Structure 1
């Protein structure tokens, strides 16, 4: 039991360290920190307050919502109290019998706050009300109603914008937890599987990748050097018919950055493969981008994905999402040079095969789930 807990804690620390070192997490969030931002640049967040609020967490949105209404009631409560006191409406001012009050029963700050609340919300309950005998009360009432309407419209817009954010649609697009390298259509390919969990299409879908790595050229170290990675399906790489899960593949040839890697050196590399899917939702016509990333330990050499699409007895197409993360060993060369019979300094000069045909269901930590 102790050994099991120790191993779990060790795996947890390892996963935390890997997640911290990633630029893009499995669910698409960018793990980057901004430092030494100038005050004048930080003030730009205040100027662009709409985007700042839309990107704010819900807990703070609720806090700002309550604070904005409470502050407006407090400010107009002070105005009503000042107006009543200036007009001599307070009971301790002993108004004469023929006095023309601006507000009835506004005798202290509590009554003034409740009067502002009832006026702005239109509740109209209690014995607090405004008269038409005072021009100041009519003006304050009009201004408060306009301000209240603007506050309500503003927060309705914020809430609706947050609910309809395109990244919410991106949560129904899922990538396979691991990538595989195996022969495909007469060449060696790196494959990734992507699935749309909704029946509505993603129009004009395009998928591409970026390989991020640190390179040293001429004594100069370039951090996060980006190399473009092209992915394609059987029908091409643009305007995908993304109705059912697709298996994307990148051809590992001489122009590919994976060409010099091998089965025993892949996991020793230091890189991150970031995959992007751009498209437009058919229902809302909103554009969205889905991202995920793969590090060397999440790329399996010599495996292939199990089929995920079949036909039922009723001759209908059926998608089995339980197979989206399942792989099976296939005969694969040890390196790309071996596969293409290219001369190189790798130890394995001939292709090798994996004779096992056992099916594996890859179980990754929960933090890597889409």
Structure 2
């Protein structure tokens, strides 16, 4: 009798066939002819029947070709292997659109500050130019009306007349004077005469409002420029996820790295498994979320990210992958794994979040990430070689689900 669990798994899990218990099935036909009854195989024949009843149906979905996508005759999206596009892009942006929201503009205006921060840069620059121009134009009208009411425009060439705004003869002059006044460029030929009492409160009003506008708009630009989400651009997730065997268990692995020397503090990581679900009562949830526990070595969900690390999700009883066959994981294309990494930027104290998404086409079976951290003997320090960030190495692993592997291990421990 084999004494090693790996030997039993290699004899019972088929590396090439979809049916992982095919050797058991084939041996059942001749068990009365070629061998005496074997409790190990007979027990797992019974277990196999129960697994077949519990196994979920899945469908391999192919990508729509360019012709179908162009004609709109297919429900699939060009460039995706799923019947629907993934929720999260590789860069971390959400691929979700909202419709049917009544009074959407009103709600956005009630949250005007956040609305402005979320604007694209081209609209931000447009808002700044428009706001300042309206301010210049409004006060130009007020200065022009002041000169008109005071009678300056009817005494332009009168040497005995003391105007309210010196040398102001037209609305164009008033606009130029308004810009000079609000931007504190300094008065040129056109300037307010100190003997005109009406010019003093108007000067005070424009100087104060101009200062407030500059403070608010420049502060708004600074906040938008320094948004904490920009920090995620220097956080790297591996393009692919791997499934390998570690400490005798199936694990899903993802590599995470930080390009900067100023690292995040108080960091954590977790995952979300998103798939279609129908409740016992018949309620359908097309995007049902399951918690996916992800560990960083022996630190649970805490990540000390001063070098690139391999994050692992154990495929155990609490994992959504527990009963999924290899072909379901690699080809079903009916689920999505979203990995979320959070931390605090040390220099600013702001929270930063980075996200990555993995579907069936991004998962590789029987591979693990190559080591990329080594000692630099010349300089006496550790060195992380990011050229190896995406490199994978083979990892011997049986093609069976986590539940089936657990059953085989339990059977081996019980001496069957």
- Smaller-chain TM-score range? 0.7 to 0.9
- For 1:94 and 1:330, the matched residues in 2 are separated by 92
Greater radius of gyration (CA)? 2
| Residue aligning to 1:34 | 98
SS in 1 for 2:287: strand
Name the structure 1 match of 2:318. 255
2:351 to 283, 287, 290: 287
CA contact (8 A) 1:175 1:194 kept: yes
* 1:201-212 equivalent positions in 2, closer than 5 A: 201-212=263-274
Pick from 131, 139, 142 the counterpart of residue 193 of structure 2.
Answer: 131
Choose the corresponding residue for 1:73, options 99, 123, 136: 136
- For 2:413, the equivalent position in structure 1 comes to none
**Unpaired segments of 5 or more residues in structure 2?**
1-64, 71-76, 410-416
Using the alignment, how far apart are the partners of 1:125 and 1:18 within structure 2? 66
Q: Tell me, in whole angstroms, the C-alpha distance in 2 between the residues paired with 1:94 and 1:262.
A: 92
Q: Name the CA distance, whole Å, in 1 between partners of 2:204 and 2:84.
A: 54
Relative to structure 1, the CA distance from residue 239 to residue 256 in structure 2 (aligned partners, 3 Å threshold; closer, same or farther) is: closer
Q: Deviations over 1:337-364 (max 9, x none)?
A: 3432459xxxxxxxxxxxxxxxxxxxxx
223-232 or 212-221: bigger deviation: 212-221
| RMSD (Å), alpha carbons | 2.4
Q: Is the 8 A contact 1:77 1:112 kept in 2?
A: yes
CA distance 1:128–1:17, shift in 2 (3 Å) = farther
SS at the partner of 1:27?
coil
Q: Is the 8 A contact 1:203 1:239 kept in 2?
A: no
Aligned length: 335
Counterparts of 1:70 and 1:19 in 2: how far apart (Å)? Answer: 50
Distance 1:17-1:96 versus aligned 2 partners, 3 A rule: farther
Structure 2 residue aligned with 1:357 = none
The TM-score normalised by the length of structure 1 is: 0.85
Partner of residue 181 from structure 1, selected from 243, 262, 265: 243
Match of 1:334 in 2: 399
Q: Cα distance, 1:307 vs. partner?
A: 0.6
Gaps of 5+ in 1: 1-6, 344-370
Give the Å deviation of 1:269.
3.8
2:326 is paired with a residue of what secondary structure?
Answer: coil
Structure-1 residue corresponding to 2:182: 120
Query: Matches of 2:240 and 2:169 in 1, distance apart?
Result: 70
Structure 1 287/318 Cα, relative in aligned 2: closer, same or farther at 3 Å?
A: same
1:93 deviation in Å? 5.1
TM-score by length of 2: 0.76
* Structure 1 residue aligned with 2:368: 304
Aligned to 1:236: 299
Separation (CA, whole Å) in 1 of partners of 2:83 and 2:260: 28
Q: Compute the displacement of 1:270 (Å).
A: 0.3
The farther-off stretch of 79-88 and 28-37 is 28-37
- Going from structure 1 to structure 2, the CA distance change for 1:17 and 1:230 (only over 3 Å counts) comes to closer
Preserved CA contact (<8 Å) 1:54 1:158? yes
Q: Quick check: 1:19–1:25 contact (8 Å CA) kept in 2? A: no
- Secondary structure of the structure 2 residue equivalent to 1:210: strand
